[in-house]
Amino acid sequence: MKFKSIKEMNKKLYKRTLLDEIKYYLYYAPKNYLDMLPRRIYWFFQRGFRGYGDNDTWDFDIYLAKVISKGLKQLKKYHHGCPSDIYEKYRKRKDLTQKQKDKLAVKEWHTYMDIIIRGFETNLEMMNDPRRYKELKPIFDKGMKLFHKYFNSLWD
């Protein structure tokens, strides 16, 4: 059987009918879920004991990007301060009250955290759509540079 194009081949060879869909969702999907259940339980306990499961290491960069971006969002939401080097810039200013200094420092820290979060989220976008790699790489690099600089300041 010869085909003129890949599209034509896909249409003829991989055409799924309504019956195929029904068969999949009534038979194969539940069967696959049940087949994988013991592994999923095992991975769940691995995450509890050591912080990651064997399945997480298959795409470890993606796993870490998801965990770190969610953790940073949580940290930003419930913060109690900012890195000392950011605060030092505002501490020297005499024209501001203490409250204004604190507010400006925290605002700048939130801006940096947003850039770091966006860097990790951009990494996920680059993995999902490699055609946008060149477009997204500078955003990712900027986030990673700040992540590296403020790594030891990511605590509350």
Q: Is residue 41 part of a domain?
A: yes
- pTM (two decimals): 0.76
| In the predicted structure, residue 134 carries a pLDDT above the cut 90 | yes
> Same domain, yes or no, for 75 and 135?
yes
With bands split at pLDDT 50, 70 and 90, how would you rate the model's confidence at 1? low
> Same domain, yes or no, for 41 and 76?
no
Residue with tokens 């992540």: 147
pLDDT score of 97: 87
pLDDT score of 101: 87
Q: Is residue 1 part of a domain?
A: no
| In the predicted structure, residue 105 carries a pLDDT above the cut 70 | yes
DSSP letter for 24, please.
Answer: I
Q: Which of these, 143, 125, 144, 121, lies nearest to 133 by C-alpha position?
A: 125
Cα–Cα distance, 5 to 2 (Å, whole number) = 9
> Same domain, yes or no, for 20 and 97?
no
> Same domain, yes or no, for 101 and 141?
yes
Q: Which of 1-15, 29-43, 98-112, 116-130 has the lowest mean pLDDT?
A: 1-15
Q: Is residue 79 part of a domain?
A: yes
> Same domain, yes or no, for 37 and 70?
no
pLDDT score of 74: 94
Q: Is residue 71 part of a domain?
A: yes
Residue 43, burial from CB neighbour count under 10 angstroms (0-12, 13-18, 19+): middle
- Start-to-end CA distance of the chain, whole Å, equals 65
Q: Calculate the alpha carbon distances from 51 to 56, 57, 145 in Å.
A: 10, 11, 25
> Same domain, yes or no, for 81 and 142?
yes
Residue that wins the pLDDT comparison between 80 and 78: 78
Cα–Cα distance, 101 to 94 (Å, whole number) = 10
* Domain encompassing residue 20: 6-50
Q: Which of these, 100, 105, 58, lies nearest to 81 by C-alpha position?
A: 105
With bands split at pLDDT 50, 70 and 90, how would you rate the model's confidence at 55? very high
pLDDT score of 19: 85
Domains identified in the chain, total number: 2
Q: What is the mean pLDDT of the chain?
A: 89
For residues 91-113, give the mean pLDDT: 89
With bands split at pLDDT 50, 70 and 90, how would you rate the model's confidence at 70? very high
For residues 72-91, give the mean pLDDT: 87
> Same domain, yes or no, for 115 and 146?
yes
> Same domain, yes or no, for 69 and 138?
yes
